[in-house]
Amino acid sequence: MAAEEGQVAVTVSNKQVIFNNYVSGFPKESDMSIAVGEINLKLPESAAAGVLLKNLYLSCDPYMRPRMRNSSGSYVGAFQPGSPLSGYGVAKVLESGHPNFEKGDLVWGSTGWEEYTVSTEPGQLFKIQHKDVPLSYYTGILGMPGMTAYVGLYELCSPKKGEYVYVSAASGAVGQLVGQFAKLAGCYVVGSAGSQEKVDLLKNKFGFDEAFNYKEEQDLAAALKRYFPQGIDIYFENVGGKMLDAVLGNMRLRGRIAVCGMISQYNLESPEGVHNLASLIMNRIRMEGFIVSDHYHLYPKYLEMVVPKIKEGKIVYVEDTAEGLDNAPAALVGLFYGRNVGKQVVKVADD
Please tell me the number of Cα atoms within 13 Å of 182 on its side-chain side.
Answer: 32
Using DSSP's 3-state secondary structure scheme, residue 308 falls into helix
**pLDDT for position 143:** 97
pLDDT (tens digit per residue) in 277-324: 999 999 999 999 999 999 999 999 999 999 999 999 999 999 999 999
**pLDDT for position 9:** 75
Across 22-41, average pLDDT: 96
Across 57-61, average pLDDT: 97
pLDDT (tens digit per residue) in 217-241: 999 999 999 999 999 999 999 999 9
Using DSSP's 3-state secondary structure scheme, residue 107 falls into strand
**pLDDT for position 73:** 62
CA dist list (Å): 205 to 53, 73, 305: 35, 39, 20
Residue 72 — very low, low, confident or very high, per pLDDT cuts 50/70/90? low
User: Tell me, what DSSP letter sits at residue 264?
Assistant: T
Higher pLDDT, 223 or 124: 223
- What residues does 232 pair with on adjacent strands? 251
Query: How many whole angstroms from its chain centre is CA 256?
Result: 21
How far apart (Å, rounded) are the C-alpha atoms in residues 85 and 113? Answer: 5
Alpha helix segments (H runs only) across 210-327: 220-227, 241-248, 278-282, 299-311
How far apart (Å, rounded) are the C-alpha atoms in residues 146 and 137? Answer: 9
Across 77-101, average pLDDT: 96
Q: Spell 24-33 as b/e; 16+ CB within 10 A means b.
A: eeebeeebbe
Could you give the percent of the chain with pLDDT greater than 90? 89
Residue 1 has pLDDT above 50, yes or no: no
**pLDDT for position 265:** 85
Mean of per-residue pLDDT scores for the chain: 94
pLDDT (tens digit per residue) in 167-195: 999 999 999 999 999 999 999 999 999 99
Residue 269 — very low, low, confident or very high, per pLDDT cuts 50/70/90? confident
**pLDDT for position 270:** 83
- What residues does 72 pair with on adjacent strands? none
How far apart (Å, rounded) are the C-alpha atoms in residues 147 and 230? Answer: 29
**What is the homologous superfamily of the domain 144-293 according to CATH?**
NAD(P)-binding Rossmann-like Domain (3.40.50.720)
Residue 201 has pLDDT above 90, yes or no: yes
Residue 98 has pLDDT above 80, yes or no: yes
**pLDDT for position 339:** 94
- What residues does 321 pair with on adjacent strands? 345
CA dist list (Å): 140 to 82, 136, 233: 28, 7, 26
pTM tops 0.75, yes or no: yes
How far apart (Å, rounded) are the C-alpha atoms in residues 58 and 342? Answer: 15
Query: How many whole angstroms from its chain centre is CA 278?
Result: 30
How far apart (Å, rounded) are the C-alpha atoms in residues 302 and 108? Answer: 15
Could you tell me the fold of the domain covering 11-138+318-347? Quinone Oxidoreductase; Chain A, domain 1 (3.90.180)
**pLDDT for position 134:** 96
| Domains of the chain, residue spans | 11-138+318-347, 144-293
CB 103 within 8 A of CB 7: no
Residue 35 — very low, low, confident or very high, per pLDDT cuts 50/70/90? very high
